[in-house]
Amino acid sequence: MTAAPVPTLATPVPVPLDVERLRSDFPILGQPVRGKPLVYLDNAATSQKPQVVIDAVTRFYASENANIHRGVHFLSERATLAYDAVREKVARFLNAGSAREIIFTRGTTESINLVAQSFGRAVLRPGDEVLITGMEHHSNIVPWQLVCEQTGARLRAIPITDTGELDLEAFDRLLGERTRLLALAHLSNALGTINPVRDLVARAHARGIPVLVDGAQSAPHLGVDLQALDCDFFACSGHKMFGPTGVGVLYGREALLERMPPWQGGGDMIASVTLERSTWAPVPAKFEAGTPMIAEVIGLGAAVDYLSAVGLTAVAAWEHELLAVASQRVGDIEGVRLVGTAPAKASVLSFVMEGVHPHDIGTVLDDEGIAIRAGHHCAQPVMQRFGVPATARASFAAYNTLEEVDALVRGLRRVRQVFG
């Protein structure tokens, strides 16, 4: 597990956040939906944005906009400094060893595809294996299926238990001589399970196997310390951590990034170009071809500042409280079954209700101004494992309140009444 102590549902912790003051930073939370106060519980899909992030993006376009790295004029130099400063900021936020290990992408999905197409295609041979888990988001399944088809490698998956935890005995059996990479989620988007990533990284490294961690759900909710985690790649998305859409981060161990070929070609990623051949810029520029998402990176920097000021330890503690209370109260509703009951969880509450499709749950709750997600959550193998086509999912962020948990419970009781 990463640096910040992660509470389990069995270990309540104090609540230090001033949630009401924090909510005032998010203008969208003050608007009604369908005539009711908005209760936004779809944070695993995307989080809302504080005013400081909105202002940072607006200010960039209003008074700072220019392309970076290629201009000698004032605006370009200022934009370049601001963009590169965010790389330093993200490296500190994640405790990477160096800002050179931080690559900006469009999001977690692109980060994983980058590793699959650059690292994966370079090292995988017919008969080699890539090991994932049965609780992965499609973005940590499909890129590996593609590269396995391209190289003749084989994709294998660690099964999960009835509580939604990894089967660690199976993990030890599957981690074999042909395994060339382990790729797994830090925090399951469909179940909320926090995987024991630090321990799994150590087991893989003992066999010389590099590890990619999908941190799309963990970066906004847990304190991530990459040096403590010791993984080789880590991917996360800005929009799930109060930042803009369209920007993400790939951390890569510098020695590996140096050996990996570029995965896209174009401007800014080259050292020299002739009509016969090209040479590559040093990392991280080697992996950032073309004009990047400059305003989005600036917004990500503001989000990182905001999350750092709030404090991930406080965020994790408050979200633990919300999840513990919601799990108890939703689980007590007649006909409701929680999907994913691991002791170590964060942020995500998935459930089904007997005789009611999750989409109907979502529709009735929407009438009450409550936004949840209903579906397979881009994790169809998880649904298959638990024998359901879909679940309803409430997912929490630091700005949610216990009163909103009450609203969710009232809404679900109304669902129960509507569908008998």
Burial of residue 73, with CB atoms counted within 10 A of its CB: 0-12 exposed, 13-18 middle, 19 or more buried: exposed
Tokens of 129: 């294996």
- Please list the residues that pair with 373 across neighbouring strands: 393
Q: Are 285 and 74 in contact (CB under 8 A)?
A: no
Q: What is the separation of C-alpha 32 from the centre of its chain, rounded to a whole number of angstroms?
A: 28
The amino acid present at 57, given as its one-letter code, is V
DSSP 8-state assignment for residue 138 = G
How far apart CA 121 and CA 263 sit, in angstroms, is: 10
Q: Mind telling me the catalytic residues?
A: 378
Quote the CA–CA distance of 83 and 292 in Å, as a whole number.
10
Residue 164's alpha-carbon distances to 160, 168, 173, 343, in angstroms, are 6, 12, 19, 9
The pair of structure tokens assigned to 51 is: 């005013």
Structure tokens at 186: 């830090």
**Which is it for the CA torsion 323, 215, 220, 253, positive or negative?**
positive
240 Cβ partners below 8 Å, 6+ apart?
43, 44, 46, 47, 216, 217, 219, 220
Residues whose CB is less than 8 angstroms from the CB of residue 274 and which lie 6 or more positions away in sequence, other chains included: none
Looking at residue 219, the DSSP 8-state letter turns out to be T
Full DSSP string of 48-101: ---HHHHHHHHHIIIII----SS--SHHHHHHHHHHHHHHHHHHHHHT-S-GGG
The residues, ordered by sequence, that sit 6+ positions from 92 with a Cβ below 8 Å of its Cβ are: none
Residues whose CB is less than 8 angstroms from the CB of residue 126 and which lie 6 or more positions away in sequence, other chains included: 151, 152, 153
Q: What is the longest distance spanned by two Cα atoms in the chain?
A: 72
